[in-house]
Amino acid sequence: MARAALGAALALVAVLVAAGGPASATDGSLETVTIASPPFEPTALAFYADARGFFRKRGIEAKIVVLADPGAVAAAIASGDAQFGPSDIGGLLLGKSRGLPVKLVAAGALYVRQAPTAALVSAPGERFASARDLVGKRVGVDRTGSIAHVALLKWLKRGGVRADAVQLSYYAFPDMIGALTRGTIDAAVLPEPFLTVAKQRGAKLVAPIFQTVCTTACLLTVWVAHGDVDRTLAARFRNAIQEAAVWANRKENDAASGAILARHTKLEKAVIAKMTRSRFATRLRLPQAQPWIDVYKEFELIPETFTALDLLK
């Protein structure tokens, strides 16, 4: 009963947050806002909102700075060099638990079980059918504590394999494909578009391991701002991002969103056409972050006192 009440409270807060603030600027002026973003589709909503005029509709003149290193986005926001930027949900959880002055302002990409956008794959020529097949093997992840790393830990644990039974190797996602195809690593956790590129080079699907965390749709990425961000500006930003999510989720807009994505990421259009496209949350619903909070607590990466409501502070 208490758990149901908590879920209802979180859902109510999410609705209030999503509805908060004016829908658009009222005096017709545009406020210049710096947005830092890495060049990946799960964090592409700012690209879409800018190209489709959703920011300007909300009184925002977007200055988008593309940063190749996702970790640089949080640093830019904390330092004040950018007002908004995306983070994978795990990065936000770790940042909040360590006192980083950032807070959640809008939802981003979703993990949808029917159309997974990340998976564990084997190197060409390797065949792994279960977690036990990876004992003693070298597995590539992007960094300790990332959602890719934590999903791997959960999948291994469910398969009866301890984390220290595999050898973790750390690479940026673009570099992981080369290591995989050369046989430097035996397997890797990859998101799109790197998942599609790796498969084109002979990698084989082992398991859609994020499903061990996301039993239903759950958040992969979110949009964050400095803790003292103006609430009205945050509401206008969130409304533009949500409108971009609605637009991007429509299958008939895949070609148009793909063209925008190609401009900002330098991905080949053929890869964009073949990969599984991201789908986005159209409202900020805190329960969609809860599965990650639970698993980060399970592996003692965040304190037991951490709650979904803390993301808004």
- Domains annotated for the chain, with CATH where assigned, are 2-112+216-312 (3.40.190.10), 118-212 (3.40.190.10)
Q: Give the pair of three-digit tokens for residue 140.
A: 């590539």
| Residues in the chain where the model's pLDDT stays below 50 | 1-23, 26
Q: How far apart are CA 177 and CA 175, in angstroms?
A: 6
| Tokens 């959640």, residue located | 104
d(CA 102, CA 229): 9
31 Rama class: left (phi>0) / alpha (psi -120 to 50) / beta: beta
pLDDT of residue 27: 56
Q: How far is 169 from 147, CA to CA, in rounded Å?
A: 15
Q: What is the pLDDT of residue 10?
A: 37
Residue of 248, 113, 119 lying closest to 173 (CA atoms):
119
- The angle formed by the CA atoms of residues 29, 30 and 32, to the nearest 5 degrees, is 150
CA distance 103 to 255: 33
- Give the model's pLDDT for residue 106: 97
The pLDDT assigned to 304 comes to 84
- pLDDT value at residue 266: 84
Secondary structure class of 308 (helix, strand, coil): helix
Looking up tokens 């037991």 gives 304
What is the chain's length?
313
**What is the pLDDT, as a whole number, of residue 59?**
97
C-alpha separations of 151 from 144, 198, 300, 303 in Å: 11, 19, 14, 18
E strand or H helix at 137: none
β-strands 204-207, 60-66: how paired? unpaired
Question: Are the beta carbons of 48 and 244 closer than 8 angstroms?
Answer: yes
Q: Cα–Cα distance between 75 and 275 in angstroms, integer? A: 30
Exposure letters 84-122 (e unless 16+ CB within 10 A, then b): bbbbbbbbbbbbbbeebebbbbbbbbbbbeeebbbbbbb
Closest CA to 112 of 239, 208, 231: 208
pTM score: 0.87
CA dist 175 and 68 (Å) reads 12
Q: Is the Cβ–Cβ distance between 61 and 30 less than 8 Å? A: yes
The secondary structure element, H or E, covering residue 240 is: helix 231-249
